[in-house]
Protein backbone atom coordinates (compact mmCIF):
# COMPACT_ATOMS: atom_id res chain seq x y z
CA UNK A 1 0.00 0.00 0.00
CA UNK A 2 2.93 2.32 0.71
CA UNK A 3 4.15 2.05 -2.90
CA UNK A 4 0.75 3.25 -4.14
CA UNK A 5 1.51 6.63 -2.57
CA UNK A 6 5.03 6.94 -3.96
CA UNK A 7 5.48 10.22 -5.83
CA UNK A 8 1.95 11.41 -5.16
CA UNK A 9 1.32 14.93 -3.90
CA UNK A 10 -0.80 15.29 -0.76
CA UNK A 11 -2.22 18.55 0.64
CA UNK A 12 -2.95 18.47 4.38
CA UNK A 13 -4.73 21.30 6.18
CA UNK A 14 -4.14 21.70 9.90
CA UNK A 15 -0.68 20.18 9.36
CA UNK A 16 1.09 22.10 12.13
CA UNK A 17 0.18 19.69 14.96
CA UNK A 18 -1.70 16.58 16.02
CA UNK A 19 -3.20 14.31 13.39
CA UNK A 20 -2.22 16.62 10.53
CA UNK A 21 1.44 16.62 11.51
CA UNK A 22 1.44 12.85 11.95
CA UNK A 23 -0.27 12.40 8.57
CA UNK A 24 2.46 14.46 6.93
CA UNK A 25 5.18 12.23 8.36
CA UNK A 26 3.24 9.12 7.34
CA UNK A 27 2.82 10.37 3.76
CA UNK A 28 6.55 11.01 3.49
CA UNK A 29 7.33 7.61 5.01
CA UNK A 30 5.32 6.06 2.18
CA UNK A 31 7.14 8.04 -0.48
CA UNK A 32 4.61 10.81 -1.01
CA UNK A 33 5.25 14.53 -1.29
CA UNK A 34 3.44 16.91 1.08
CA UNK A 35 1.98 20.38 0.99
CA UNK A 36 1.73 21.47 4.62
CA UNK A 37 -1.07 23.99 5.15
CA UNK A 38 -1.90 25.74 8.44
CA UNK A 39 -1.83 29.13 10.15
CA UNK A 40 1.29 28.62 12.27
CA UNK A 41 4.04 29.10 9.72
CA UNK A 42 6.93 28.58 12.12
CA UNK A 43 5.69 25.08 12.88
CA UNK A 44 5.09 24.37 9.21
CA UNK A 45 8.57 25.49 8.23
CA UNK A 46 10.11 23.37 10.98
CA UNK A 47 8.19 20.30 9.81
CA UNK A 48 9.02 20.97 6.16
CA UNK A 49 12.72 21.29 7.06
CA UNK A 50 12.54 18.01 8.97
CA UNK A 51 10.97 16.27 5.96
CA UNK A 52 13.57 17.63 3.55
CA UNK A 53 16.41 16.70 5.92
CA UNK A 54 15.14 13.11 5.86
CA UNK A 55 15.20 13.05 2.04
CA UNK A 56 11.51 13.78 1.52
CA UNK A 57 9.79 16.57 -0.37
CA UNK A 58 7.63 19.16 1.36
CA UNK A 59 6.52 22.76 1.03
CA UNK A 60 4.84 24.95 3.66
CA UNK A 61 1.78 27.00 2.72
CA UNK A 62 0.38 29.50 5.20
CA UNK A 63 -3.34 28.84 5.16
CA UNK A 64 -6.36 29.76 7.27
CA UNK A 65 -9.29 27.62 6.14
CA UNK A 66 -11.73 30.25 7.42
CA UNK A 67 -10.49 32.78 4.84
CA UNK A 68 -11.66 32.70 1.24
CA UNK A 69 -8.76 32.21 -1.15
CA UNK A 70 -6.21 30.74 1.27
CA UNK A 71 -6.73 27.10 0.29
CA UNK A 72 -6.74 28.06 -3.39
CA UNK A 73 -3.30 29.63 -2.90
CA UNK A 74 -2.06 26.45 -1.18
CA UNK A 75 -3.31 24.34 -4.10
CA UNK A 76 -1.57 26.69 -6.54
CA UNK A 77 1.68 26.32 -4.55
CA UNK A 78 1.31 22.55 -4.90
CA UNK A 79 0.80 22.85 -8.65
CA UNK A 80 3.79 25.16 -9.09
CA UNK A 81 6.12 23.11 -6.86
CA UNK A 82 5.09 19.61 -7.91
CA UNK A 83 2.98 19.98 -11.06
CA UNK A 84 -0.03 18.16 -9.66
CA UNK A 85 -2.21 17.32 -6.67
CA UNK A 86 -3.34 13.76 -5.97
CA UNK A 87 -4.92 13.85 -2.51
CA UNK A 88 -6.41 16.63 -0.37
CA UNK A 89 -6.97 15.97 3.33
CA UNK A 90 -9.32 18.42 5.05
CA UNK A 91 -8.04 18.03 8.59
CA UNK A 92 -8.12 21.53 10.12
CA UNK A 93 -10.58 21.88 12.97
CA UNK A 94 -11.20 22.51 16.66
CA UNK A 95 -13.95 21.92 19.21
CA UNK A 96 -16.39 24.31 20.89
CA UNK A 97 -17.87 22.94 24.11
CA UNK A 98 -20.73 24.00 26.35
CA UNK A 99 -24.46 23.57 26.73
CA UNK A 100 -26.50 24.85 23.81
CA UNK A 101 -28.35 27.34 26.03
CA UNK A 102 -25.04 28.76 27.30
CA UNK A 103 -23.25 29.15 23.96
CA UNK A 104 -23.71 32.24 21.82
CA UNK A 105 -24.64 32.17 18.16
CA UNK A 106 -21.12 33.43 17.46
CA UNK A 107 -19.75 30.30 19.17
CA UNK A 108 -21.71 28.16 16.73
CA UNK A 109 -20.69 30.32 13.76
CA UNK A 110 -17.02 30.04 14.73
CA UNK A 111 -17.31 26.27 15.03
CA UNK A 112 -19.06 25.76 11.72
CA UNK A 113 -16.82 28.25 9.90
CA UNK A 114 -13.71 26.21 10.68
CA UNK A 115 -14.94 22.63 10.75
CA UNK A 116 -17.57 22.75 8.00
CA UNK A 117 -16.81 25.67 5.72
CA UNK A 118 -13.08 25.02 6.14
CA UNK A 119 -13.59 21.50 4.82
CA UNK A 120 -15.85 22.80 2.04
CA UNK A 121 -13.28 25.43 1.02
CA UNK A 122 -10.62 22.71 0.88
CA UNK A 123 -12.77 20.50 -1.32
CA UNK A 124 -13.76 23.26 -3.73
CA UNK A 125 -10.20 24.55 -4.03
CA UNK A 126 -8.70 21.11 -4.66
CA UNK A 127 -11.32 19.57 -6.94
CA UNK A 128 -10.05 20.89 -10.30
CA UNK A 129 -6.63 19.32 -9.69
CA UNK A 130 -8.08 16.14 -8.17
CA UNK A 131 -10.30 15.62 -11.19
CA UNK A 132 -7.26 15.87 -13.45
CA UNK A 133 -5.32 13.33 -11.39
CA UNK A 134 -8.40 11.19 -10.61
CA UNK A 135 -7.21 11.41 -7.03
CA UNK A 136 -8.91 11.48 -3.69
CA UNK A 137 -10.26 13.77 -1.00
CA UNK A 138 -10.40 12.85 2.68
CA UNK A 139 -12.53 14.63 5.25
CA UNK A 140 -11.45 14.23 8.86
CA UNK A 141 -14.68 13.99 10.80
CA UNK A 142 -15.16 12.39 14.19
CA UNK A 143 -17.02 9.68 16.03
CA UNK A 144 -19.02 12.70 17.21
CA UNK A 145 -20.41 12.76 13.69
CA UNK A 146 -22.47 9.75 14.77
CA UNK A 147 -22.86 10.13 18.53
CA UNK A 148 -24.07 13.33 20.21
CA UNK A 149 -23.02 13.98 23.80
CA UNK A 150 -24.21 16.71 26.18
CA UNK A 151 -22.07 19.89 26.08
CA UNK A 152 -20.71 18.87 22.66
CA UNK A 153 -23.58 20.18 20.54
CA UNK A 154 -21.66 22.70 18.43
CA UNK A 155 -18.82 20.29 17.68
CA UNK A 156 -21.22 17.42 17.02
CA UNK A 157 -23.27 19.54 14.61
CA UNK A 158 -20.12 20.36 12.67
CA UNK A 159 -19.00 16.74 12.42
CA UNK A 160 -22.46 15.49 11.40
CA UNK A 161 -22.25 18.07 8.60
CA UNK A 162 -18.78 16.89 7.57
CA UNK A 163 -20.09 13.34 7.29
CA UNK A 164 -23.03 14.55 5.19
CA UNK A 165 -20.63 16.43 2.93
CA UNK A 166 -18.51 13.32 2.44
CA UNK A 167 -21.51 11.17 1.58
CA UNK A 168 -22.83 13.79 -0.86
CA UNK A 169 -19.47 14.18 -2.58
CA UNK A 170 -19.03 10.42 -2.91
CA UNK A 171 -22.09 10.18 -5.12
CA UNK A 172 -21.27 13.33 -7.08
CA UNK A 173 -17.63 12.50 -7.82
CA UNK A 174 -17.73 8.75 -8.40
CA UNK A 175 -18.16 9.05 -12.16
CA UNK A 176 -15.22 11.47 -12.34
CA UNK A 177 -12.86 9.05 -10.64
CA UNK A 178 -12.33 11.05 -7.44
CA UNK A 179 -12.44 8.94 -4.28
CA UNK A 180 -13.99 10.40 -1.12
CA UNK A 181 -12.97 9.03 2.27
CA UNK A 182 -14.64 10.00 5.54
CA UNK A 183 -12.47 9.51 8.63
CA UNK A 184 -14.11 9.27 12.06
CA UNK A 185 -11.54 9.17 14.86
CA UNK A 186 -12.24 8.83 18.54
CA UNK A 187 -9.77 10.17 21.08
CA UNK A 188 -6.39 10.65 19.40
CA UNK A 189 -3.34 12.34 20.87
CA UNK A 190 -3.78 15.97 19.84
CA UNK A 191 -3.95 19.59 20.98
CA UNK A 192 -7.66 19.78 20.19
CA UNK A 193 -8.80 19.18 23.77
CA UNK A 194 -6.58 22.05 24.95
CA UNK A 195 -8.02 24.60 22.55
CA UNK A 196 -10.66 26.94 23.94
CA UNK A 197 -13.92 28.03 22.35
CA UNK A 198 -12.18 30.95 20.62
CA UNK A 199 -9.76 28.54 18.91
CA UNK A 200 -6.80 29.49 21.11
CA UNK A 201 -4.38 26.89 22.48
CA UNK A 202 -4.28 26.80 26.29
CA UNK A 203 -0.70 25.89 27.11
CA UNK A 204 -0.45 23.68 30.17
CA UNK A 205 -4.14 22.72 30.18
CA UNK A 206 -4.58 19.14 31.45
CA UNK A 207 -5.68 16.31 29.16
CA UNK A 208 -9.30 15.63 30.20
CA UNK A 209 -9.39 12.13 28.67
CA UNK A 210 -7.78 9.14 30.47
CA UNK A 211 -4.41 8.34 28.90
CA UNK A 212 -5.30 4.71 28.25
CA UNK A 213 -8.18 5.82 26.02
CA UNK A 214 -6.07 8.06 23.74
CA UNK A 215 -4.53 6.57 20.58
CA UNK A 216 -1.04 7.80 19.62
CA UNK A 217 -1.10 10.05 16.56
CA UNK A 218 1.35 7.82 14.67
CA UNK A 219 -0.96 4.81 14.98
CA UNK A 220 -3.97 6.87 13.93
CA UNK A 221 -2.09 8.32 10.94
CA UNK A 222 -1.21 4.83 9.70
CA UNK A 223 -4.85 3.72 9.82
CA UNK A 224 -6.04 6.93 8.17
CA UNK A 225 -3.55 6.73 5.32
CA UNK A 226 -4.33 3.03 4.79
CA UNK A 227 -7.97 4.01 4.22
CA UNK A 228 -7.14 6.96 1.94
CA UNK A 229 -4.66 5.03 -0.21
CA UNK A 230 -7.14 2.14 -0.52
CA UNK A 231 -9.82 4.69 -1.57
CA UNK A 232 -12.17 3.38 1.09
CA UNK A 233 -15.43 5.20 1.77
CA UNK A 234 -14.88 5.39 5.52
CA UNK A 235 -12.58 4.51 8.38
CA UNK A 236 -13.53 4.54 12.07
CA UNK A 237 -10.35 5.02 14.09
CA UNK A 238 -9.92 3.76 17.70
CA UNK A 239 -11.77 0.92 19.37
CA UNK A 240 -14.08 3.12 21.44
CA UNK A 241 -15.11 5.04 18.31
CA UNK A 242 -15.97 1.78 16.55
CA UNK A 243 -18.08 0.75 19.54
CA UNK A 244 -19.88 4.10 19.68
CA UNK A 245 -20.58 4.19 15.94
CA UNK A 246 -21.78 0.58 15.99
CA UNK A 247 -24.22 1.36 18.82
CA UNK A 248 -25.43 4.49 17.03
CA UNK A 249 -26.14 2.42 13.90
CA UNK A 250 -27.55 -0.75 15.41
CA UNK A 251 -28.75 0.05 18.94
CA UNK A 252 -29.55 3.78 19.09
CA UNK A 253 -32.09 3.33 21.87
CA UNK A 254 -29.51 1.66 24.11
CA UNK A 255 -26.94 4.35 23.31
CA UNK A 256 -29.38 7.20 23.99
CA UNK A 257 -30.41 5.65 27.29
CA UNK A 258 -26.77 5.37 28.35
CA UNK A 259 -25.99 8.98 27.34
CA UNK A 260 -29.07 10.25 29.23
CA UNK A 261 -27.67 8.68 32.41
CA UNK A 262 -24.25 10.33 32.14
CA UNK A 263 -23.47 12.58 35.12
CA UNK A 264 -23.56 16.32 34.52
CA UNK A 265 -20.08 17.57 33.71
CA UNK A 266 -18.30 20.86 33.90
CA UNK A 267 -17.59 22.75 30.72
CA UNK A 268 -13.94 21.62 30.62
CA UNK A 269 -14.80 18.00 31.23
CA UNK A 270 -17.27 18.12 28.39
CA UNK A 271 -14.45 17.57 25.93
Q: Which helix (H) or strand (E) holds 237?
A: strand 234-237
Neighbours of 50 (CB within 10 A): 15
Q: What is the mean pLDDT of residues 29-43?
A: 96
Residues 217-240 have a mean pLDDT of 96
Tell me which of 155, 173, 190, 221 is the catalytic residue.
155
Q: Are 222 and 52 in contact (CB under 8 A)?
A: no
The predicted model gives 26-40 an average pLDDT of: 97
> Cβ atoms within 10 A of the Cβ of 230, count?
13
**pLDDT digits 0-9 by tens, 58-83:** 999 999 999 999 999 999 999 999 99
Q: What is the model's pLDDT at position 142? A: 95
Cα 171–Cα 176–Cα 179 angle in degrees, nearest 5? 60
As a whole number, mean pLDDT of residues 93-111 equals: 95
Q: Does the annotation count 146 as an active-site position? A: no
Mean pLDDT of 145-166: 95
Which of 92-101, 144-153, 183-192, 244-253 has the weakest average pLDDT?
A: 183-192
Q: 207 pLDDT band (50/70/90 cuts)?
A: low
pLDDT confidence tier of residue 233, bands split at 50, 70 and 90: very high
Nearest to 146 by CA among 270, 237, 75, 247: 247
State the average pLDDT over residues 105-124: 97
Report pLDDT for 214.
86
70-73 own/partner pairs: CB under 8 Å, 24+ apart: 70/121, 71/13, 71/37, 71/121, 71/122, 71/125, 71/126, 72/125
What does pLDDT average to over the chain? 90
**CA distance linking residue 235 with residue 8, whole number of Å:** 21
Amino acid sequence: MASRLAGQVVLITGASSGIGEALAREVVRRGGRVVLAARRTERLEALASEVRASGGEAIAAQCDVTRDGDVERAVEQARVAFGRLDIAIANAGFGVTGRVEDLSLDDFRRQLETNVFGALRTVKAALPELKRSRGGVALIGSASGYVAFPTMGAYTMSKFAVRALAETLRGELHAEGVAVTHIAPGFVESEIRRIDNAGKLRDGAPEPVPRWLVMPTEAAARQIMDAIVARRAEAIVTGHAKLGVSLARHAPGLLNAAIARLPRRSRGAGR
